[in-house]
Amino acid sequence: MNGWIILDKPLGLGSTQAVGAVKRVCREAGLGKVKVGHGGTLDPLATGVLPIALGEATKLCGRMLDASKIYEFTIAFGTETAGLDAEGEIVATSDERPTRAEIEAVLARFTGPIEQVPPAYSAIKIDGERAYDRARKGEAVEMKARSVTIYSLRHPGLDPGSRFSTSLSGTPDQVRGDEGGERLQEITLTAHVSKGTYIRSLARDIAYAVGSVGHVTMLRRTKAGPFDLSQAISLDKLNAFGQGAAQSEIFLPLEAGLVDIPALNLSPEAAGAIRQGRVWTGGSTDDGLYWGRDSDKRPVALIEALAGTLKVVRGFNL
């Protein structure tokens, strides 16, 4: 078992619990002990794409953590909670409610490279202890701002004729068919973000920018790196694998996590050298990162090509 299970994580299930569920199902399917890891934490109150790596694919979990993600999220205006989500005590309220036009006017501020203060209820470590553990003990947690990138931030509109968005150019599309006069209790947005971005903080800051406060009531990850919802399976379908369902119905090969990297066909001699961790010389490949495959199309390694040499970044024992 060297590959991926892309879980459409349900509400209330933690990422660590999801990994545990995959291990359990693999045992039930008679696969014995399988190395399992996830490609990016997803809060229990969030749903959506959770890439789970098995076997040699776990060597790609670091790349998956660094990959960009796409989320859909709903901001409810008027109330801010301690956790910036549907759980936790209310810490601030406001009678102000924005219009769609007012939201449109501030979206460009949150597109491109920005500085963001993570929530106190997050897994970031402060002096060796998780921030959420300190917050739950009632300690005042001071979070430092971090640099993240919002590649795009958009709102599909409440009807087919209304849409506005911003991208890295920072230029809003026109709002069509709506003058933006209605005061909104909530709004749903889609964000394509870099690693390290907290959607709860983004929602908080958007609410502040329109003169209100807010928190996230819905958070769904629709894409993580190369994986999206079209490849995701339900928890019920995962459990069915443990009861005898076909592996092909839930499992993606290791190379599915490499589709954003060009493949490099290796000669038998080059594949043999790279499997041994040796540098291969004499190639004419452009400099860059590749995944090498042998004559049977099996992944051999992540490879860095530089000045006619091929050097192993991460080898696969397949």
Mind telling me the catalytic residues?
Answer: 43
Give the integer Cα–Cα distance in Å for 79 and 216: 10
Q: What residues contact 126, with CB distance under 8 A and at least 6 apart?
A: 134, 141
| Cβ–Cβ under 8 Å, residues 181 and 99 | yes
| Cβ–Cβ under 8 Å, residues 46 and 9 | yes
| Cβ–Cβ under 8 Å, residues 259 and 272 | no
| Cβ–Cβ under 8 Å, residues 46 and 14 | no
Tokens 């996830």 belong to residue: 38
Give the integer Cα–Cα distance in Å for 55 and 4: 9
Q: Is the dihedral of CA 214, 219, 225, 230 positive or negative?
A: negative
| Cβ–Cβ under 8 Å, residues 53 and 60 | yes
Of 20, 64, 67, 15, nearest to 41 by C-alpha is 15
